[in-house]
Amino acid sequence: MILSNPLKDFTVRNLSLAIKQRDVSAEEVAGEVIARCELHAKYNTLISQDPEGLLAAARAADQHQSSGAKLGPLHGVPLLIKDNIDTKDLPTTGGTPAFENDYPRKDAPVVRRLLESGAIIAGKSNLHECAVGATSDNSHYGIVHNPYHFDYIPGGSSGGTAAAIAARMVPGGLGTDTYGSVRVPSAMCGIAGFRPSSGRYPGGGVFPPCHTRDTVGPMAQNSADLALLDGILSGTESNLDVTDLKGVRLGLPHRIFREQLDARTARVFDDAVDLLKELGAVIVEADIPEFSDLTNKTAQQIGSFETKRDMPAYFETRGTDVTISRMIDMIASPIVKVRIAGIMSLKPEAEEAYEKAMTVHRPAIKKIIRDYYNEHSLAAIIFPTSPFPAVEVHDEVVTINGETDKTAMWRLLDNLTYQTVVGAPSLSVPAGLTTDGLPVGLNFDGLPGTDQQILALGHAFERAAGPLPPPSIS
């Protein structure tokens, strides 16, 4: 049932506090999540959910609390897990048919950390098949719909988690990010999403594997919730020390990050920049030396080789009877099948290209970024998370400022790839809505290791900007 007096702010921090104060029980919250997921099932955000298991876990949490035992920071809070992150009590499909009823033998380390903190798994979220794509148009499980406009994409590949949070079905969850798969859907669905510095969270238990570039990332309504989740996932203290933005220097590289913006996105982004200035931030408009081509080439060489090399180990650790060849044969999307098959059939010379990417090109890109920060004494770089807002479902052709671009869907990744190569933290927060009611994301990037600072900057902006109006759904 829907609670007669639903909690006003369905956020991670709010629910955690409400449960601990006994304003609401974990079982009531779990029931609310189940009811909301049923009510909004048409958005197709879930691949699997165990309502009875969810309620049983919530009852156990309430009994634990009644016993007077110590409570974890996420006690009783239901969180959604992207369905390419291993969970032993729910199938992990990767959004592809071969794994439809396949249970990994153990939880991914990040899932264990959430469970050890008291969280409950709300379900597994829909995604672009094999996490290879930016639309979450899954050829087997169906398209995920954007709560701000049902006929529009949520972005991808972590679209199910983003859409469920935006629709207030769940307070938060996990995605994964190799090319922007946490940040793109967060921007398009009007929520906050964080890609941490590489290695900040424990790895393993994620399909497909790519240990240098891929990472799990938390997703929630705001940066305060992300900071809480980040602290748990990283095993550090949650810290939002920045109380204002006065004197904080933020780089704005126009040529790489602001060219060819959709006019609607540009207007919302410019308003966000104006607000940052009003808050006292110093906006440093200075371009970074061109590095996009090198970054894209390096990203491809690293991603493809590591996925091929690490895939057999993932299958073995998972404990599945599915073979790699069977998995590829059963991929529903022709585009995804070609990409995965191509990766798994890389020629031997790919290893030489990989070694050069890791030892020559990656350090060169790191130096370009580090020098830019040092030259301008920057705390962060800002830019629009996506060059355009959400587009219609199945619309792979995008018109930007009157020009039609058949490759525009891949341009979603233009601003979000270098971070995966250098291992930098990257945060997308809601910047505002376009005149036609579509969310736009503002991105804060930092140097590797500045995760807490980036989350604090996003939090400071959000406090001033205020939350987005929730989507108008029944």
> How many structural domains are present in the chain?
1
Identity of the residue numbered 176: T
Q: Which of 48, 125, 136, 157 is catalytic?
A: 157
Q: Dihedral sign for Cα 269, 45, 176, 405, please.
A: negative
Question: Is-catalytic flag, 304?
Answer: no
Q: Which of 25, 82, 197, 304 is catalytic?
A: 82
**Is residue 5 included in any domain, yes or no?**
no
Q: What percent of the chain has pLDDT over 90?
A: 89
**Dihedral of the CA atoms 161, 166, 167, 170 (nearest 10)?**
50
**Is residue 263 included in any domain, yes or no?**
yes
- The verdict on pTM exceeding 0.85 is yes
Mean pLDDT of 183-206: 98
pLDDT at 473: 85
**Is residue 383 included in any domain, yes or no?**
yes
pLDDT at 409: 67
Host domain of residue 284: 12-465
Within 10 angstroms of residue 371's Cβ, the number of other Cβ atoms is 12
Question: Is-catalytic flag, 139?
Answer: no
Residue 210 to residue 298: CA distance in whole angstroms: 13
**Is residue 474 included in any domain, yes or no?**
no
**Burial category of 102 from C-beta neighbours within 10 Å (exposed 0-12, middle 13-18, buried 19 and up):** middle
In 3-state terms, the chain is what percent helix, strand and coil (to 5)? Answer: 45, 15, 40
**Is residue 268 included in any domain, yes or no?**
yes
CA 421 to chain centre: 17
**Is residue 2 included in any domain, yes or no?**
no
pLDDT, tens only, 364-395: 999 999 999 999 999 999 999 999 999 999 87
pLDDT, tens only, 339-349: 999 999 999 99
To which H or E segment does residue 49 belong? none
**CATH code: domain of residue 277:** 3.90.1300.10
In the three-class reduction of DSSP (H, G, I as helix; E, B as strand; rest coil), residue 137 is classed as strand
Residue 5 confidence class, pLDDT cut points 50, 70, 90: low
Q: What percent of the chain has pLDDT over 70?
A: 96
Residue 160 to residue 170: CA distance in whole angstroms: 11
Instruction: Copy the structure tokens of residue 337.
Output: 């099948």
Question: Is-catalytic flag, 181?
Answer: yes
**Is residue 1 included in any domain, yes or no?**
no
Q: Which of 16, 181, 186, 428 is catalytic?
A: 181
**Is residue 197 included in any domain, yes or no?**
yes
pLDDT, tens only, 413-426: 778 999 999 999 99
Mean pLDDT of 255-271: 88
